[in-house]
Amino acid sequence: MKNLTLVLSFLLGMAGAFIQNLPAQTPTFTNYLTYADTRSLAFQGTNVWAATFSGVVRRDAGTGALLDHFTKENSGLVSNDAKFIAVDNAGTVWVTYNDHFLGKYSGGSWSNIDLNAYGTGLSSGQIFPDPSGGVWVAFGAYANFGVLRVLGNTVTH
């Protein structure tokens, strides 16, 4: 037992000496979204999509270059208050809003599904794509909590 204690003490001492001799590195941070509260990110190939308080943003993930900034005023978004974003296997971008809608970006344009038709006061939440091309949307507000599934034009509650 005494030998084991000596060996462990020696090894810990060597590890401490090694760590102390490592050069300090200062990380570099670049803030690409200084104008909005970013709530969720999703990757699509070399692009990164962001759900923000001021709409939906798409940037080149390698360079950070702004590719698109979709807002209610310049596109088919129903609200600038985007909460969660996801990309399915087909490359369709899905976004939930605080305004109880589910947005879908496909073929260069936005369409929207009113989630209020499936319950009273639904607050849409996270989006989870499934392998069949559909998405699952978590929701909840007051007494209504659950999950919706969207596959094609069919919504299941």
The three-class DSSP label of residue 75 is: coil
Tell me if 7 is assigned to some domain: no
Tell me if 29 is assigned to some domain: no
Distance CA 62, CA 47 (A): 8
Q: Count H helices and E strands in the chain, helices first.
A: 1, 12
Tell me if 123 is assigned to some domain: yes
Query: What percent of the chain has a predicted confidence (pLDDT) above 90?
Result: 40
The CA distances from residue 128 to 94, 114, 138, 147, in Å, are 9, 18, 8, 10
Tell me if 19 is assigned to some domain: no
Measured from the Cβ of residue 129, the count of other Cβ atoms closer than 10 Å reads 17
Measured from the Cβ of residue 20, the count of other Cβ atoms closer than 10 Å reads 7
What's the pLDDT tens digit per position in 126-154? 899 998 888 998 877 655 677 888 888 78
Of 120, 121, 101, residue with least CA distance to 112: 101
Tell me if 13 is assigned to some domain: no
Answer for the pair 33, 57: CB distance below 8 angstroms, yes or no.
yes
What's the pLDDT tens digit per position in 18-44? 555 556 677 776 676 655 688 899 999
Our count of domains for the chain comes to 1
Distance CA 154, CA 148 (A): 10
Tell me if 26 is assigned to some domain: no
Tell me if 17 is assigned to some domain: no
The parent domain of residue 151 ranges over 36-156
Where residue 104 falls among pLDDT bands split at 50, 70, 90?
very high
Answer for the pair 112, 126: CB distance below 8 angstroms, yes or no.
no
Single-letter residue type at 42: A
Q: What's the pTM value of the predicted model, to 2 decimals?
A: 0.77
Which CATH number characterizes residue 70's domain? Answer: 2.130.10.10
Per the model's pLDDT, the better-predicted residue between 61 and 18 turns out to be 61
Tell me if 10 is assigned to some domain: no
Distance CA 49, CA 69 (A): 10
Per the model's pLDDT, the better-predicted residue between 26 and 96 turns out to be 96
Query: Burial level of 125, CB count in 10 A (0-12/13-18/19+)?
Result: middle
Query: Lowest-pLDDT range, 36-45, 85-94, 116-125?
Result: 116-125
